Amino acid sequence: MVKLIGLVGTNSEHSTNRQLLQFMSKHFADQAEIDVVEIKEIPIFNKPTEIRVPEIVQQLADKIEAADGVIISTPEYDHAVPASLMNVLSWLSYGIYPFVDKPVMITGASYGTLGSSRAQMHLRQILDAPELKARIMPSSEFLLSHSLQAFDNDNCLKDSEQVAQLEGLFTDFLVFVELMKQLNHAHEMNKKAAENFSWEEV
C-alpha cells in the first residue's frame, strides 16, 4: 500500500488543517496509509555552525524519506504559510534533503472564504527552492474555506461536493506518485545539487 506523510502545517493546538488531514487519513484508508505528523515540537531554526539537525528533525526527515509522498495542509497567515511551517522546511533543507524529488500534494483550510489560496502559492515557491526541490502536483488546489463549519461531530467533511473534489484530487495524487517513481534517473544528481547549493556563492 502507498505510504504517505500528512504534515500538519501549523503548531496550533486547534487546527482545521489537522482535522482535514485526519479526515483524509480515515477516508482514504483503503487506498493509502497516511501518517499524520505534527510539527509542534520542532525547535526554532538557528543555522548551527555544525551542520547537524536535532534528533526530532532527523526523525521527521527519515519518515519523509521513507514515504512515497507527502501531503502538506497549511493555513494562511498574512498571505503566507505560518512561521512554524517555514521553520520546519528550513531544518529539512539544512544538511538533509528528504524533499528532493518527493511527490507533494498541497491542501489548506482557512476560516475565511479564500481557503489558504495565497499560502498554497507561497508554499509552492518554497518547495521549489534549490535545497528542497520537491515535485509538487501541478494544477491542483484543495481550498477548504469556512473550515470551522466544514466538519461534523465525527470529524467528517459535511459538503459532498468538497468530498468529491478531494477524492478526485487524491486519486490524481496517487497517479502522480506512481509517475514520479519512473522519473528518478537523475535523483542522485538532484540530491547532490541540493547538497552543494549555497546562497553565499550565488
**All domains of the chain, ordered by start, with CATH?**
2-196 (3.40.50.360)
CB 8 within 8 A of CB 57: no
Cα pseudo-dihedral 38, 155, 3, 69, rounded to 10: -70
Q: What is the pLDDT along the chain (202 residues), one digit of tens a residue?
A: 999 999 999 999 999 999 999 999 999 999 999 999 999 999 999 999 888 999 999 999 999 999 999 999 999 888 899 999 999 999 999 999 999 999 999 999 988 777 688 999 999 999 999 999 999 999 888 989 899 999 999 999 999 999 999 999 999 999 999 999 998 888 989 989 888 888 776 5
